[in-house]
Amino acid sequence: MPSPLFARPVRRLRTASLAALAAVAMGATSLALAAPGHAAPGTSCTGSTVHASAVQDGGTWRAYRGSRELWSGSDMRTAIQRAIDSLDAGRTSKQRVVVNGNGTMSANARISLPSHTAFESCGTIHVSGSGSGNVAGVYMRGARDIEVARLAMTGTPVYGIFARNVDDLRLRDIDMRLSGGGIGVRIDNHGDRSRFARNIAIDRAYVSGAGSHAVETYGVDGFTLGTLTARDVRESGLLLNQTINARVGTVDAVNAGAGTGYAAFRIANRAGRVGSSYPTNIEVGTVRASGGGRGIFCVSESGGLRVDRVELTNTGNNPVLIENCTNVSLATSGGTVSRGDVRLAERSEFPGNRDITLQNLTLTNGARVVENPCADNLVIRNVSGPVSRC
């Protein structure tokens, strides 16, 4: 397990002269200084310009716009939201809010990000209790041009991050070490399904202990993911629903979806379907799965999928299940499967599998390929291990 992120201590400026210089550097609209003994405005942990901040000062949280103190009290979430709400109304480019400190918020509350906002948490946000509905540690809806540069989260959020009908979203460095709750990251278009959410990027995400999926999309056109590390999540590692034009580097899952039909990597609900066809448009570098439920699962009229490398070991369910999918190619660059059936199946309510290629696979410890019923245009080549055709 990688070491916890964001251990960098909070930098605190105590003198009026340093606070004034910091305010000028941040482009603050006011040079009013915090009272002596108070924490000065926050500092970026990525070296970026800061426009507003929420800073922990002992048991007190303070919200700033530039160097001007806006609010103080014991509630971290309120301080963060006050800082966000102080950004320029009607802005057309991103302004940045930084959080310095560690604090707790309720699972039945949310931090809301509007358009043209960059959010950066240099400490850890702990989400406690239970919640319901569309509440999230970090929430956005009907917005565009948003960046979450850093976020470390623990606890039991309903959603760690929830983005609904958001365009041009980038999540750079996400670290969620949860103890239940719901989904780590959910991005969908369910407020207005007449159009897809567009241009979504996740650079790096680590999610453990989520009560549902680590990362889920639904109704997204243009999705990029560098690396997802999923550990002990209740359902899928990465789940792409009705998502097209996706590029994924690595999905690395241990014990994802144990005892369920979910998978380390799953596409469903016409993911990869562009109009009425399935051009290759979901491209994945590596899927690595150990234990848990399934390894790779394509279902419900999805397809247009290419996975270059697979490394699937001792999954509790099928290491691969392809069910009612079109144009799926696995292991173009090679792969290994240990134990279980690489299974091709279908449900009667959907068209059967077609244009499936399994290749460059080494099957060990009883792993085998099972086709039942017959797929249309199934190609199996360079597969070392037993194959049972229909």
What are the boundaries of each domain within the chain? 18-388
Cβ neighbors of 177 (< 8 A, separation 6 or more) are 4, 152, 153, 154, 206, 208, 209
Please state the rounded mean pLDDT for residues 360-386.
Answer: 97
Burial of residue 133, with CB atoms counted within 10 A of its CB: 0-12 exposed, 13-18 middle, 19 or more buried? exposed
Q: Which residue has the tokens 């039942």?
A: 372
- Decide: 293 and 317 in contact? Cβ < 8 Å: yes
Residue 239 identity (one-letter amino acid): L
Q: Encoding tokens for residue 209?
A: 């202990």
Peptide bond into 2 cis (omega under 30): no
More confident residue, 344 or 25: 344
Q: What is the reported pLDDT for 24?
A: 30
**Statement: residue 18 has pLDDT above 60:** no
Please state the rounded mean pLDDT for residues 210-237.
Answer: 98
Q: What is the reported pLDDT for 236?
A: 98
Res. 40 pLDDT band, cuts 50 70 90: low
**Statement: residue 209 has pLDDT above 50:** yes
Q: What is the pLDDT of residues 271-327, one digit of tens each?
A: 999 999 999 999 999 999 999 999 999 999 999 999 999 999 999 999 999 999 999
**Statement: residue 263 has pLDDT above 70:** yes
**Statement: residue 196 has pLDDT above 80:** yes
Res. 388 pLDDT band, cuts 50 70 90: very high
Would strands 111-112 and 263-268 be described as parallel, antiparallel, or unpaired? unpaired
**Statement: residue 19 has pLDDT above 60:** no
| C-alpha 162, offset from chain centre | 9
Q: Encoding tokens for residue 61?
A: 């949280």
Q: What is the reported pLDDT for 41?
A: 87
- Decide: 100 and 121 in contact? Cβ < 8 Å: no
Residue 211 neighbours by CB distance under 10 Å: 17
**Statement: residue 16 has pLDDT above 60:** no
Residue 11 vs residues 102, 119, 312: alpha-carbon distances, Å: 13, 18, 44
Q: What is the reported pLDDT for 6?
A: 42
Q: What is the reported pLDDT for 330?
A: 98
Q: Provide Rg for the chain, Cα atoms.
A: 23
**Statement: residue 10 has pLDDT above 70:** no
Lowest pLDDT segment from 17-31, 110-124, 239-253: 17-31
Closest CA to 271 of 308, 298, 237, 309: 298
Q: What is the mean pLDDT of the chain?
A: 91
Please state the rounded mean pLDDT for residues 131-147.
Answer: 97
**Statement: residue 268 has pLDDT above 60:** yes
Q: What is the reported pLDDT for 5?
A: 44
Q: Which residue has the tokens 């948490």?
A: 121
- Decide: 175 and 153 in contact? Cβ < 8 Å: yes
CATH topology (fold) of 18-388: Pectate Lyase C-like (2.160.20)
**Statement: residue 30 has pLDDT above 90:** no
- Decide: 184 and 178 in contact? Cβ < 8 Å: yes
**Statement: residue 22 has pLDDT above 80:** no
Q: Which residue has the tokens 């394509």?
A: 298
CA torsion sign for 336, 340, 344, 349 is negative
pTM of the model: 0.90
Please state the rounded mean pLDDT for residues 113-119.
Answer: 98
> b or e along 315-353 (b: 16 or more beta carbons within 10 Å of the residue's beta carbon)?
bbbbbbbbbbbbbbbbbeeebbbbbbbbbbbbeeeeebb
Cβ neighbors of 315 (< 8 A, separation 6 or more) are 264, 289, 290, 291, 292, 293, 294, 295, 339, 340
**Statement: residue 192 has pLDDT above 90:** yes
Residue 117 neighbours by CB distance under 10 Å: 22
- Decide: 227 and 254 in contact? Cβ < 8 Å: no
